[in-house]
């Protein structure tokens, strides 16, 4: 049960943004730009970064929903998502993505953990400045989203089928959900 009076049965961040749409809309707008806007990183790669950071933050809702979206976007290569979540270094993703996820991992802990060597490794792997920028901003934003969801103990479904459906919806974009009930 959530720590605040949100609509029952609405999972994760959705219930929180319905509770306070004036703050929820900018958060959804940010997610839309980060995960669906213009970027040299594919939508699948950006969702993977979000899922990876959420996994490292132990945010079950965000990890499960963004992993489901990444699986949808990766299509035939959806197994990459689970490989990364099990052991990123042993996964079959590119060296560039491993270097970017290493940066995301460090941002998830503390932004100052990122070193010049991490940036050089990403560039050697083929990442450009925009990909590094977008990785850092996704990692920082999802650390905030994770803390928002878990800090208010929002409802986290346990059924994988719920997340599979959520992932299908999320690949279409991030728009503020419609309020179905007034919560005070």
Q: What is the pLDDT of residues 84-142, one digit of tens each?
A: 999 999 999 999 999 999 999 999 999 999 999 999 999 999 999 999 999 999 999 99
> In terms of Cα–Cα distance, which of 48, 32, 61 is closest to 163?
61
Alpha-carbon distance values, 2 to 7, 26, 35, 154 (Å): 9, 22, 27, 5
| CATH match for 21-170 among 1.10.340.30, 3.40.50.720, 3.40.50.300, 1.20.1290.10 | 1.20.1290.10
Helix (H, G, I), strand (E, B) or coil at 9: coil
pTM of the model: 0.95
Q: Where are the domains of the chain?
A: 21-170
Six token digits for residue 75:
């299509």
């Amino acid at each position: 049960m959530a720590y605040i009076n949100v609509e029952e049965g609405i999972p994760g961040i959705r219930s929180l943004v319905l509770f306070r749409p004036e703050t929820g809309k900018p958060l959804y707008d940010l997610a839309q730009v980060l995960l669906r806007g213009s970027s040299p990183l594919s939508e699948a790669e950006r969702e993977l970064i979000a899922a990876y950071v959420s996994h490292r933050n132990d945010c079950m809702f965000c990890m499960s929903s963004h992993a489901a979206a990444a699986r949808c976007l990766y299509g035939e290569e959806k197994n990459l998502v689970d490989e990364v979540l099990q052991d990123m270094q042993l996964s079959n993703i590119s060296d560039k993505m491993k270097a970017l996820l290493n940066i995301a991992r460090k941002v998830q802990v503390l932004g100052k953990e990122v070193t010049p060597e991490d940036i050089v490794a990403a560039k050697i792997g083929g990442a450009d400045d925009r990909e590094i920028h977008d990785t850092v901003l996704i990692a920082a934003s999802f650390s905030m989203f994770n803390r928002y969801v878990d800090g208010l103990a929002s409802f986290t479904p346990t059924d994988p089928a719920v997340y599979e459906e959520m992932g299908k919806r999320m690949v279409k974009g991030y728009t503020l959900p419609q309020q179905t009930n007034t919560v005070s």
